Structure 1
Amino acid sequence: MEEKILKLTAKDLAELVALERLCFATPWTEKQFRLCLAQDHLYVLGLKSGGRLLAYISFFLVGEEMEILNLAVHPKKRRQGLGTKLLCTALNFFRRKNGKKVFLEVRPSNVAALNLYKRAGFIQAGLRKNYYPDNGEDALVMVLKITNRSI
């Protein structure tokens, strides 16, 4: 089936919340997503196949900076390059808007995500102690300086 990446809207809310619950220990609520989707500077891109949401990435764009909030792939669809496709799409979108720096936080225990971000060129820039509320795990702060090359 053909995969499509598109900007998600309020009509995708139920599917977005369901995927979020499958992927995260402390998922965002429907209300949080509804508020975010109403903001002009927040984007949620979804990867769909056969009309089903398989993955999404959410990020803020503020001036020359981007902050990636979440990147989620359905557990049964992991390790198939969907996260890479979404990350590359978001980074190239930001590059076309003349963005300069991208930030994100990631769990040190999330080896798959760390490997994805490192392959994309992110480097560790800091540490947030006791960042995650479910278990008190620290967060690695990672940064990517945007160049003219596509990811």
Structure 2
Amino acid sequence: MIRRDMEAIYAIENDLFEFPWCEDDFIRCLRQRNCIGMLVEYDEQIAAYMIYELHKTRLHLLSFAVARQFQRRGFGRLMVEKLIGKLSGDRRTRITTAVRETNLDAQLFFRSVGFCAVSILMDYYPQSTEDAYVFEYRVAAGELNPRYQGCL
């Protein structure tokens, strides 16, 4: 993800989300040493992107989007698989992300790729009083095992 990609990323963000990130949100995030942005290109277009943070024992997915015209074609799954590949049983063992209570498509997607809802963050979003579900993907005992106890 580089600066020239940002125009397409903003367009996707604004098309998909009621409360999209602004340019400053992306810049502030990507300037942090522990923040990484990745994207998927298809036919010279940005099809999808994600931004995640590296923490000592986990990865935290901050932003994740697949452009409307590329949805349901495997690009989201591809990005999640790439992220899962960065986990290990002895260091970073899980991926977390917050999903709006009203974003049923995202909830179903994350469940389909092995995430479980593990908690609720009440009144999480500053622009509204909407709650968020914390979804988690976990590596168990050194092997990738997304179906574990503890789902809501």
- TMscore range, shorter length: 0.7 to 0.9
Aligned to 2:111: 118
Do the aligned partners of 2:50 and 2:64 also contact (CA within 8 Å) in 1? yes
1:2-151 to structure 2, matched below 5 A, reads 8-95=1-88, 98-147=91-140, 148-149=143-144
User: Match of 2:144, as an amino acid?
Assistant: R
- After TM superposition, what 4+ stretches of structure 1 lie above 6 angstroms from structure 2? none
2 CA distance for matches of 1:53 and 1:97?
34
Change (3 A) 1:107 1:101: same
Aligned pairs, number = 144
Do the aligned partners of 1:57 and 1:87 also contact (CA within 8 Å) in 2? no
Do the aligned partners of 1:10 and 1:37 also contact (CA within 8 Å) in 2? no
Deviations 1:37-86 (A, max 9, x none): 22221111101112211111111011121111121111122111211111
Q: Structure 1-normalised TM-score?
A: 0.83
1 CA distance for matches of 2:89 and 2:6?
27
Greater RCO (Cα-Cα under 8 Å, separation 6 or more): 1
Q: Which runs of 5+ in 2 are unaligned?
A: 147-152
**1:150 to partner: Cα distance:** 8.6
Percentage identity across paired residues of the two chains: 23
Deviations 1:69-126 (A, max 9, x none): 1211111221112111111111212449941122111123322211221122222221
Q: Which runs of 5+ in 1 are unaligned?
A: 1-7
1 CA distance for matches of 2:6 and 2:40?
14
**1:145 to partner: Cα distance:** 1.4
Do the aligned partners of 2:34 and 2:54 also contact (CA within 8 Å) in 1? yes
